[in-house]
Amino acid sequence: MNNFLSARGVTKSYSMGKRTLEVLRGVNLEIAAGEFLALRGASGAGKSTLLHLIGGLDSPNAGEIIFKGENLAQFSEGKLTHFRNRRAGFVFQSYHLLPELTALENVCLPARVARISASNSEKHATELLERVGLKNRLEHKPFELSGGEQQRVAIARALINEPEMLLADEPTGNLDSKTGEEIIELLKNLRAEKNMTLIIATHDAKVAAHAQRVIELADGKIAG
């Protein structure tokens, strides 16, 4: 296994008034480039927190997240922003689409943040939306789309800057089983096409079963 991404002795806790909630308790994990990994566990097991740390959306209290030999904690704010915008793509359970924007405009957003020209970003976004089966939905706003269609827009948005890894937090959580299965198959196919690392956090054993490797989290630790 190569050194694409590592979690080393990672702990994470949150203060809730006088109480401290320990979410991760010394997690060690090695992830290979191009791997499809599922982080599985019950609600509160720490899988979403670990996914957020891997993606640089949060930082550990102790331990290290190492991406290609570099510690994310040592990144400048600018370098971390670039990492989140260009190296990692994010898909969330609740889609997080901007309601006032069309599907095409939502997908273009990360490219515009990266200062890619409007013409190039729109061309690439159109191609991605066609790839995820939304060729006829480019000008539709989120309220005009089904849950599955909104998640497809979110996937296209996550891929617009051609990230090296795609991080999906309960991507089927708001979908019926048939639509959820379609979304997982889409993610699998896109990972293979683009040679990306795909990491999914899920409580669903059926979703996790699609992965090449499943890591079980329980009480903030890797089980087994």
Write down the pLDDT at residue 43: 86
Whole-number Å distance between alpha carbons of 49 and 59: 10
Write down the pLDDT at residue 71: 95
Bridge partner residues of 24 (DSSP) = 12
pTM, 2 dp: 0.93
Query: 2 pLDDT band (50/70/90 cuts)?
Result: low
The rounded percent of the chain whose pLDDT value lies above 90 is 92
Report the relative pairing of strands 62-67 and 5-16 from DSSP bridges.
Answer: antiparallel
Write down the pLDDT at residue 1: 47
Average pLDDT over residues 4-32: 93
Whole-number Å distance between alpha carbons of 138 and 177: 25
Report the relative pairing of strands 19-31 and 36-40 from DSSP bridges.
Answer: unpaired
Average pLDDT over residues 133-159: 96
Write down the pLDDT at residue 21: 87
37-46, 112-121, 140-149, range with greatest mean pLDDT:
140-149
Domains of the chain: 5-222 (3.40.50.300)
Write down the pLDDT at residue 17: 86
